[in-house]
Structure formats: structure tokens, C-alpha cells
Amino acid sequence: MYKDSTILVTGGTGSWGEELIRQLLTFHPKKIIVYSRNENSQVELRRKMANDNLFFFIGDIRDKAALLAATEGVDYLFHLAALKHVPICEENPVESIKTNILGTQNVIDAAVENHIKKVIYVSTDKAADPANTYGMTKALGEKLIIHANSKLSDTKFSCVRGGNVLGSSGSVLPLFQKQIAELGEVHITDKRMIRYFVSPREAIVRLLKAARISQGGETFVMNMDAFRIIDLAEVLIEHSGKSDVKIIEIGIRPGEKLKEVLIAENEKDLASSLDEDLLLISANQKGASTIDPQIEKIENSLLTKDEIKNMLKKEKFI
């Protein structure tokens, strides 16, 4: 699919983008265009991944003219660029709308105008039953992407809903490790907090699988593991070997849920389990008479501390 093709990745210098580019290069594409607005991040990625097939384009998805220029001759587009941090989006809702909604429409328009074959929009579990600005803007982004398939064009648009990526910038894993090492304490918003996590490698494997089988109009959901954040903290404290590390509850932040969901209640009768990696929400199929039991099993399962420890060891985080 990707051999000798031209691929553009918006937000390509982020945690997801870096791993995506690393895996895409193994398919020997003709060109990968890294589209982002952060000059320093592009310089760092150039140094980290020196490759003749890697090209860099400074641009913002809010700038439609820049997107139109960057997408000329592109075969496949992965749309990762977004404002992603929940507190930042809560404090800056207008900026979130400009990037996550209007920017996504610019991506759609550029893709259609330049006859891109497939656009894969990377979404988040926070778009399911959204409770914060970030989730709401990403949910509307999903709506725009799915609706784009009704345009009179050959471009196919699909969504892939992910979750928290272990070890990514701003995630709790490096934050907790830093707090343990430097403060001798871990700050948790609420001890009841539960989140879905996936490793960077597994997230991109699933993203590429969804991109390969997509026909347009689907919302794929990564099958991810959930665990209590306090269990993660206790595993990291135990691994540190320190006996006097305190866990401090600092209070839930505006817009946060105690537990995210992968699929909204109103989506469940349209959802099915494809395989061990992906769930599928189809906008075209009729609602099922019963909810897929695999989906209920995923939503009601939590990793134990031993399973969390094994996951961290497998991905070389500890």
C-alpha cells in the first residue's frame, strides 16, 4: 500500500507521529512529508531520523493555503495534528475549535482538492461521550471526517480512535517517574481514576492496520487495556526501590472523567469486534439487536498490578 507512495503526516513531530513515521519508513515509501508548526521539533526529528525519503514542511492546519501546497501529489494522509491537553483546551476553547475543528475541515478540503486516496483521522477515547472541550472538538472532528465521504470525490475518509499512549509527552508515566525521583511523591488527581492505555508501538501497528482495511466511513477503535492510575503509581514506586514515596490526591481537574469509555452508549449497537486489535463502529450498518459481548468484556476489564508491571517491562519503560 505504501511502497513508492507519498504520505503526509500532520502533527508528525509528536509522540504518535514519530512512531508512525518510523514504522512507515519500513514500507519504503517514495516520500513522507512531516507537516507541523514547531520548528525545533522538526530539527530534532531530522537529527533523530536521518532519511532521504523524509521531508519537512513548516505549516499549521489552520492555514488552508499551506495545507493545499503540502498535499500536492500526496497519496495518503494521516491527520494527527491537534491541541490535545485537556486543561489547555479547557482554558482555550476558541483556540481548540480553530485547530481541532476548523483545521480538520481544512485537511478535508485540501485532501479532496488534491485527490488524496485515503485520509486517516486519529481521534481519542475522549470523543466518546465527551465531557471536556478536547473531547467535544475531537468528536466534531470525527463527524466532519465521516461526513466527508459524502462529498463527490474519490478520497476515502476514516477515523481511528485511540487512547493514552504510554510514555508520550505529557502522559502520567514519565510524570510519575519524574515526581518519584525528584519529589519523593506522586500527585494523583483522584484515586478512583481509570484510563485506557496503549504502547506507542502497538498504537501505530493498529493505526496502520485500520488504514489498510478502511473503505471510508468507518470509525475504528483500538482495543486497549484499562487500569487504575493509582495502581500504575504503586507499580512505579515499587520499581523505584524507595520506601517513603507518598501518594498525594490533588483533586480532579475541570473536564476530567473518573473513567473514559471507548464507545459511547448510542454507538454500542453499531459496534462490533473485528479482532484482538480493533473494534469497528460503522455508520452504514443497521443497529444490532444485542451489544457485542466482547465490547462489554473490554469495558469491564482492568489490568492487575502484575499485568501493568509486565506491560511496562515489555515496552522497556521499567
Closest CA to 89 of 141, 162, 165, 13: 141
Count Cβ atoms below 10 Å from residue 48 Cβ, excluding itself. Answer: 10
Give the list of residues 6+ apart from residue 200 with CB closer than 8 angstroms, or none. Answer: 15, 16, 19, 165, 166, 167, 168, 315
CA distances from 161 to 123, 147, 151, 204 (A): 4, 16, 22, 12
CB-based burial, 52-76: b 16+ in 10 Å, e otherwise: eebebbebbbeebebbeebbeebbb
Cα-to-chain-centroid distance, residue 144 = 17
Q: How far apart are alpha carbons 99 and 44 in whole angstroms?
A: 23
- Supply 177's cell numbers: 517517574
The SS3 call for residue 201 is helix
- Known catalytic residues are 126
| DSSP summary character for residue 105 | H
| 120 and 163 Cβ atoms separated by less than 8 Å | no
| DSSP summary character for residue 217 | S
Q: How far apart are alpha carbons 12 and 71 in whole angstroms?
A: 14
∠281-287-289 over CA atoms, to 5°? 125
| 149 and 217 Cβ atoms separated by less than 8 Å | yes
